[in-house]
């Protein structure tokens, strides 16, 4: 698979760990930056990576900033992107199985190497289950039957 990766300065070190793990698994990596821990703006890197997924240039993306919140917001503004901020392996696995997340977001300030590897490994191994989850994802996309409250 082909992965887009991107980070701001606060996520740079973790992005490099993620890249190495992806290479170890034999995946192709397209690095959208940043290239150092010099202060920068996360949208400058996260949006192009998310757009690469939306356009089909990359299968999925992994984004990292300090808390993961900024990258999540940026990525989820791109139509066709389902970005999930994951702080545990369980969240990562279920973001794929139930939500069909195509972008994984991690928090550079809060995620150590071992946890990052667990999150990434579980996200990579999980597959979308479809079924009732397809209906729910369809509602997000606006092509499923919408529930209304009374």
Active site residues: 65, 98
At residue 5, φ and ψ (nearest 5 deg) are -130, 145
Residue 141: both structure tokens together: 């996309």
Q: Say how far residue 18 (Cα) sits from the centre of its chain.
A: 11
| Sign of the CA dihedral running 14, 78, 148, 97 | negative
DSSP 43-87: HHHHHHHHHHHHHTSSSEEEEEESSSHHHHHHHHTSTT--EEE-S
Burial class from Cβ neighbours inside 10 Å (0-12, 13-18, 19+) for residue 39 reads: exposed
Angstrom distance (rounded) from CA 29 to CA 58: 9
């Amino acid at each position: 698979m082909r992965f887009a990766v991107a980070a701001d300065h606060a996520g740079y070190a973790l992005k490099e760990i993620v890249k190495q793990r992806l290479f170890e698994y034999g995946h192709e990596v397209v690095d959208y930056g940043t290239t150092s821990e010099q202060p920068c703006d996360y949208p400058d890197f996260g949006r192009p990576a998310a757009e690469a997924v939306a356009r089909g240039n990359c299968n999925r993306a992994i984004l990292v900033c300090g808390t993961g919140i900024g990258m999540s917001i940026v990525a989820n503004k791109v139509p066709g992107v389902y970005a999930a901020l994951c702080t545990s392996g369980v969240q990562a696995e279920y973001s794929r199985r139930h939500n069909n997340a195509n972008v994984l977001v991690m928090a550079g300030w809060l995620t150590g190497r071992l946890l990052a590897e667990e999150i990434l490994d579980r996200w990579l191994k999980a597959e979308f289950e479809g079924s009732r989850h397809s209906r729910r994802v369809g509602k997000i996309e606006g092509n499923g039957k919408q529930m209304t409250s009374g």
